[in-house]
A = this chain, B = another copy of it.
Amino acid sequence: MDSFAPTHRTQVQRAPQRAVYDRAQIYSILDEGYICHAGFTVDGQPYVIPICYGRAGDQLYLHGSAVSRMVRALAENVDICITVTLIDGLVFARSACRHSINYRSVVVLGKARLVTDPGEKLEALRCLTNQFAPGRWEEVRKPDESELNAVSVLAVPLQEVSAKTRSGPPADAGPDDSLAVWAGVVPVWTLAGEPAGDARVPPGVTAFDIRRLTRFRHGGDI
């Protein structure tokens, strides 16, 4: 299947021309991001919390302390929503109401599953670590048994998924075109700055190569 099937809950109703169900495009948004906003409901109150994630195929992985309120809530087979948003630009229109944002966002609905299989748990932590930078897991110390026990890993299947995107110039109504007001798009990029090595790194250790962060722009390439 090259697309996720829309359901009555993921069928985009407003601005349907912005809807995306294409699997490759949705993967690409999820792989470019590194922070999601996880939504869950406790005693009728929704909570939205920023949290790291990783993707392996059609699974999103989240992790947190085994004693955290959020992780315990998420692991209880409740309905959750995971949203990943990338911002591409500020859209300045000639009229106040047409101001907009160029963006790409993915919304995943479903239930989280507590990962208990030790092999899958390690694989999930590998994904989560490599979401920081490709190959990072392979160069750092792996979790020991007590660390594995202290962390809970949750898997959210990519089943009920939609994306929404906006790109391009402002959509002013024709008569506004003649107004003497600048209109256009200011592109927004995420920039990775100069890595600041920890003071205790032993001499001789090679500094982090910023070019590994392919999702970002760097000081030298803008």
On whether the beta carbons of A181 and B109 are closer than 8 Å, the reply is no
Q: Does chain B have a CB within 8 A of A25?
A: no
Q: Does chain B have a CB within 8 A of A58?
A: no
On whether the beta carbons of A41 and B38 are closer than 8 Å, the reply is no
How far does the alpha carbon of A200 sit from the alpha carbon of B175 in the complex, in Å? Answer: 11
Q: Does chain B have a CB within 8 A of A222?
A: yes
Chain B contacts of A38 at CB under 8 A? Answer: 48
Report copies per complex.
Answer: 2
Please tell me which one of the listed residues B47, B184, B197, B204 contacts residue A107 in the complex, with CB atoms under 8 A apart: B47
Taking each of A132, A141, A190, A192, which has the highest tally of chain B beta carbons within 10 Å of its own beta carbon?
Answer: A141
Please tell me which one of the listed residues B35, B67, B94, B140 contacts residue A93 in the complex, with CB atoms under 8 A apart: B140
On whether the beta carbons of B222 and A198 are closer than 8 Å, the reply is no
Contact code string A136-152 (vs B, CB < 8 Å = 1, else 0) = 11011111000100110
The 10 closest A-B pairs by CB, nearest first: A187-B193, A39-B48, A39-B46, A48-B83, A37-B37, A184-B197, A191-B191, A95-B141, A50-B85, A39-B39
> Residues of A at under 8 Å CB distance from B?
9, 13-14, 34-35, 37-41, 44-50, 52, 64-65, 67-70, 79-83, 85, 87, 89-90, 92-97, 99, 101, 103, 105, 107, 109, 125-126, 128-129, 132-133, 136-137, 139-143, 147, 150-151, 169-170, 172, 176-202, 204-208, 210, 213, 216-217, 219, 222
